[in-house]
Structures are given as C-alpha cells and as structure tokens.
A and B are shown apart, each in its own frame.
Chain A
Amino acid sequence: MRHLNSGRKLNRTKAHRRALFANLATSLVEHEQIKTTLPKAKDLRPLLEKYITLAKRGGLNSYRLLISRLCSQEAAKKLVEDIAPRCKDRQGGYLRITKAGFRYGDNAPMAIIEFVDRKIKVKNKTEGDKVSKDSKTEKSTEEASPKKSKKKETKKTSDKVLAS
C-alpha cells in the first residue's frame, strides 16, 4: 500500500528522476519560465521552492548544497545572487503554475511554471539575444515560419466558410 507515500514516479528510476528534476530546476532558474508537463511542474514546484529557501539562508554550506542538488554552479549562483534577494519579501510561494493546454502527439497536460517575481525585461533581453543569434544561423526557418502561419490562416478562413 502506498500510504504516506507522496510524489510521482514519472516512470523513472530514482536516479533518473533526480537527474530530471535537477535539469528542470536549472532550466527554470536560467530561463525564469519553462513549459513542461503538469505532473512534472507540480513536483518541481515544492522542490525548487525549498532550494530558494536554502538560497535565501545564504552562507557557503547552503551554496555548496545547492550546487550538489542542481548539478550546476551557474544555476546555484543565480539562485543565491539574483533570485534569493528578489524573493526576500515572500514567505514561500515563489513559483506559479499555469495550465497550458495539451501536448500534440500524446495529449499530455502541459503547464507553464514561472517565478512569481519574474523579471520580464530579463526574459525579453535573452529572447532578443536569441533572436539575433538565430537570425544569422536559422534564416531558413524564419522564412518558413510565415508560410506556416499563412497556411493556418487559410485553414481558419476555410473553417469559417464551412461554418457559415
């Protein structure tokens, strides 16, 4: 019986799960907002909120603990230096989960998980950098994307025509 057992296994071994959540946590710390499946987001939130509490405590020991848990020095550094001061006035509840539809292919429920005190400017800056980098390397995809949108529009209009 699974009395008093909490959490999801997510079809993974313990080591696999540990690695998965370390990756999810570092990605979320890096990008401030990520899209993942709802069960993963639901398990990630309490985990990362505990790490934020650890980062807020400060000191070398908590910093080293964070590096070992996240498997990433950069993420631990950002948690301590950037995110912990931002979350200073909040007593928990640092992360927000919003449902975001169902994934094409396996219909998995998706969610967007983000910091409640998310710096939107930071996100936009990184996006701008990405766009400038991508525009040089992936011009072909940019050229292809407007065509796709046009196709969607035509589909929509055809649907409307059918409806009318």
Chain B
Amino acid sequence: MAVPKKKVSKSRRNNRRAHDAIKPASHMECSSCGELKLPHHVCSSCGVYNGRKVSSTVED
C-alpha cells in the first residue's frame, strides 16, 4: 500500500491550507427597506424581492 514517506511539516501543511480560507457571505442593501439582505433572495426583514411583496409572513 502507498504510505507517506515523510511527516508533512507544519510549514508545508499550513502553506497547503493558505488558500482554504472561507470568504464571508456576500450581502447587499435592500432597495425597499435599506436593511442588509442576501443577493438573489427575498428580503428577510420586509419580504420584498424585485420591488414585489413576496413573503406575506413578514409583517410591515
């Protein structure tokens, strides 16, 4: 069976993980209420998407 010949050093391991960082989720301002929202999603605070009231569970 193939087995690693040498222990991977901390430096080599950390260098490998240099590009593994998770980027923060993108967000934008809602055009109708100004609250921060996820792009391409219904606004969680006012329930509007593309100028249309979608979610009726979110109260005004």
Q: Binary interface profile of B, 37-57, with partner A (CB < 8 Å = 1, else 0)? A: 010111010000100001111
Min distance, Cβ B49 to any Cβ of chain A, angstroms = 5
**With A and B bound together, what is the CA distance between A98 and B56 in angstroms?**
13
Given A98-B49, A101-B44, A33:B56 Cβ within 8 A: yes
Q: How many residues of B contact A (CB 8 A)?
A: 10
Q: What total of chain A residues lie within 8 Å of the partner, measured CB to CB?
A: 11
- List which A19-49 residues lie within 8 A (CB) of chain B: 33, 35
Question: Whole-angstrom distance between the alpha carbons of A98 and B44 in the complex?
Answer: 12
Residues of A contacting B41 in the complex (Cβ-Cβ under 8 angstroms): 98-101
User: A54 near B: Cβ within 8 Å?
Assistant: no
A127 an interface residue at 8 Å Cβ cutoff? yes
Whether A99 and B54, one on each chain, are in contact in the complex, defined by CB atoms closer than 8 angstroms, is no
Q: Is the interface of A mostly helix, strand, loop or mixed?
A: strand
CA separation between A124 and B49, bound complex, in Å? 19
> CA A25 – CA B4 in complex, angstroms?
54
Q: Which of chain A's residues have a CB closer than 8 A to the CB of B55?
A: 35, 100, 112
Contacts of B54 in A (CB 8 A): 33, 98, 100, 112, 114
Residue of A nearest to B40 (CB): A99
- Judged by a CB distance under 8 angstroms, whether A155 is at the interface is no
Residues on A with beta carbons closer than 8 Å to the beta carbon of B38 = 99, 101
Of A99, A101, A123, the residue contacting B56 (CB under 8 A) is A123
Q: In the assembled complex, which residues on chain B have CB atoms less than 8 Å from the CB atom of A127?
A: 56
Between A and B, 19 residue pairs with Cβ closer than 8 Å are A33-B54, A33-B56, A35-B55, A98-B41, A98-B42, A98-B49, A98-B54, A99-B38, A99-B41, A99-B42, A100-B41, A100-B42, A100-B44, A100-B55, A101-B41, A101-B42, A101-B44, A124-B56, A127-B56
Q: A33-B56, A98-B54 are in contact. List 18 more A-B contacts (CB 8 A).
A: A35-B55, A35-B57, A98-B41, A99-B38, A99-B41, A99-B42, A100-B41, A100-B42, A100-B44, A100-B54, A101-B41, A101-B44, A112-B42, A112-B55, A114-B54, A123-B56, A124-B56, A127-B56
The chain B residues found within 8 Å of chain A, CB to CB, are 38, 40-42, 44, 49, 54-57
